[in-house]
Structure 1
Amino acid sequence: MAFLSSRRRRSRLAPELDDQDLGKLMKNLLATTRASTVGMTDMCVAQISRLLERDPGDWDRRAHRMGVLAEFLAGWRLPRSWATREPRNANALVLYAWSEVARARAYSQGSLEDAASVIDSCLRAAELTPEDPTPWVVVLKAARLEHWEQPQAFGVWNEVLARDRWNREAYLNMLSYLTPEEAGSRLQVLEFVDAACARMPANAPCAAMELTAQVLQYHSVLGRGGFEALVARNHWSQATAAQALDRAAHTWVQPGFLRHARALADLNILAYALMAADRRHEARAAFEALGGTVAPWPWQAGGDPLSEFEQAQQRVARGG
């Protein structure tokens, strides 16, 4: 039972994943706000700026850090205050816009309070840093919330790809946008995934798009309830789903194969899908690669993500 005991103790929800600098920043921000010191906003902004100014040109890392910070700060006034004080700071503008999107999803039932302000902030940031795809990523997120028509959404998606060909956020957002639950259809999802996978490197930052599409479809079947939900596991026996899972299971767990910022989030998707398909022996390698780092999605579909992760890990450890 060494696998169970060593992994279970360390299981933790870690939005920063393995980005230690990001994790330290989030702890420092909490400590600063709890201290209620004079100039608290200035101190927080200085810490955020230092991190976001590192690794220039690493758009994958930048999107990861910006997105985690936006979720973390969604209930704070800091992003809006920073953008107001520094209207020509691209980092401030993008963080404000992304935090508003995160706030809308978390607190406002998916509706932006001021969509025009969010879009305007992104466009100003894009003018200030024309090579950066991140402002366009946030526009795409806002477009989903605002139910933009497909030609507009694809136009924004193309702006991202012109700057970062395999941008993870862009592909995953378009994937969700094209589902029947949003603005598309099952056929559009299949065509989009097939077209992308025909050209995509196997270890691209957006490599999880194919398996994500299968998990979304699996969740759709579960959501129907009744008999379909009872036999939902059969989804993973279908050729397309099984092949996507095969490709990921055989490559992602290899040391150093996935090198992008959200690789551990993708390994969570793999572990979840393998368990859903009852391929527990293969799931062991994914859990070992994760080392207890839990991403909320897709575990949260079954309840508390940490509990779901640990229960799955225990089933792997028992071998049954």
Structure 2
Amino acid sequence: MSILRKLRASGPRLLPELDDVKLGRVRRQLNSTGLPGQSGIQIDQIERLLQESGTDWDRRTHRLAVLAEAAAPSGLARTWRMRRPQSGDAMVFEAWVELVRGRHDGRMEQARTVADDCRRAAEALPEDPAPWVVLLGILRLIRAESRELFAVWHEVTSRDPWNREAHLQMLRYLSPEECGSRSGQLEFLDAVRGGVPSNAPAVGVELTALVDEHARTVARGGVEALLVRRQWTNHRATRALETALANWPRAGHLRYAAALADLNLLAFALVQAGRPREGAGVFDLVGDTVTPWPWSLDGEPLRQFSYWQAKALG
């Protein structure tokens, strides 16, 4: 047993910030009980955290996504926008909070108004892909025409070619469950696979598609669901798993903000493929940082993760 594993005393935890310690501190502040004057402190903390990200668009996008989720139940985003009406950061943050609420509700009553806010934020932050990432999410939620989505996709990728959030948004939009088809999704994956570097933030998009396909098959039930493991033996799945196994667990290889989320994804995929022992190195890198998805596909995430981590590392 490694020293790292001996030191793990807290056990697996769901940490939206993953290994971003500064982000975790601010997220916990946003989730704490409100006190007089606390909103001003929280806004200052968010501003500093985003400013610190500079032009690391990957880190900045991750921080915005986590903080927007944490702030969605409160009126903090509106307070910030009213306090700094010309701030591009305040604009994009409020738009992202509205997107989070829309995802939770399954609809956005003022989608086009929020979309206009994204465009204003883009004018204030011309180099930043984040306003376009939020707009992409809004258009996906309202099932906009593909022509409109691809125009926004171009805006994102011209600023940040391997933006993880944008790639996942397009993947799900092009799925059979939403506005696309399996063939259209495969065309998108082929295009991504042909150019994505092995350590880019979007490197997990193909494995995400395979896990989505796995979940789709299980949801249909019947004999096909009972034999779902066979999906992991076809050429596309085995190639994706072997490529990920060869690269992702290498020390220091994955350095982007959501790397631990993709390592969770790989560990889950190996379990579904009946290869948990091969994931020992992956589980070791993940440590105790668990992501709800995809572990929730099989039950309670922490329980599922703990069970399979013990199997892999035992």
TM-score tier (shorter)? over 0.9
Q: Does 1:84 align with 2:82?
A: yes
CA contact (8 A) 2:58 2:163 kept: yes
- How far 1:133 sits from its partner (Å)? 0.4
Q: Does 1:143 align with 2:139?
A: yes
What CA deviation, in whole Å up to 9, does each residue of 1:60-114 have, x standing for no partner?
Answer: 00000000001111111111221233221111111111111111222x1x10131
- The aligned counterpart of 2:149 is 153
CA contact (8 A) 1:8 1:310 kept: no
The alignment yields a C-alpha RMSD, in angstroms, of 1.6
What CA deviation, in whole Å up to 9, does each residue of 1:12-53 have, x standing for no partner?
Answer: 10000000000111223344x44x12x222111111111111
CA contact (8 A) 1:179 1:186 kept: yes
Give the alignment of 1:238-317 within 5 angstroms. 238-317=234-313
- The aligned counterpart of 1:115 is 111
Aligned residues: percent identity? 46
The one-letter code of the counterpart of 1:201 is: P
- The aligned counterpart of 1:49 is 47
The one-letter code of the counterpart of 2:51 is: E
- How far 1:55 sits from its partner (Å)? 2.4
- The aligned counterpart of 1:181 is 177
What CA deviation, in whole Å up to 9, does each residue of 1:115-153 have, x standing for no partner?
Answer: 123112111110001100000000000011110011111
CA contact (8 A) 1:4 1:313 kept: no
- The aligned counterpart of 1:95 is 93
Take 1:289 and 1:150, find their aligned partners in 2: how far apart are those partners?
38
- How far 1:6 sits from its partner (Å)? 5.8
Q: Does 1:74 align with 2:72?
A: yes
Match of 2:187 among 191, 201, 224: 191
The one-letter code of the counterpart of 2:22 is: D
- How far 1:213 sits from its partner (Å)? 1.0
Match of 1:62 among 56, 60, 63: 60
Runs of 4+ in 1 over 4 A off after TM superposition: 1-9
What CA deviation, in whole Å up to 9, does each residue of 1:276-308 have, x standing for no partner?
Answer: 101112111110001111011111111221111
Name the count of aligned residue pairs: 313
What CA deviation, in whole Å up to 9, does each residue of 1:137-187 have, x standing for no partner?
Answer: 000000111100111111110110111111111111101110000110000
Take 1:218 and 1:314, find their aligned partners in 2: how far apart are those partners?
23
Gap change, CA 1:294 and 1:8, over 3 Å in 2: farther
Q: Does 1:129 align with 2:125?
A: yes
The one-letter code of the counterpart of 1:67 is: A
Take 1:131 and 1:264, find their aligned partners in 2: how far apart are those partners?
27
The one-letter code of the counterpart of 1:63 is: T
The one-letter code of the counterpart of 1:18 is: D
What CA deviation, in whole Å up to 9, does each residue of 1:185-207 have, x standing for no partner?
Answer: 00011111111111111111100
Q: Which runs of 5+ in 1 are unaligned?
A: none
Q: Which runs of 5+ in 2 are unaligned?
A: none
CA contact (8 A) 2:277 2:311 kept: no
The one-letter code of the counterpart of 2:84 is: E
Gap change, CA 1:56 and 1:7, over 3 Å in 2: same
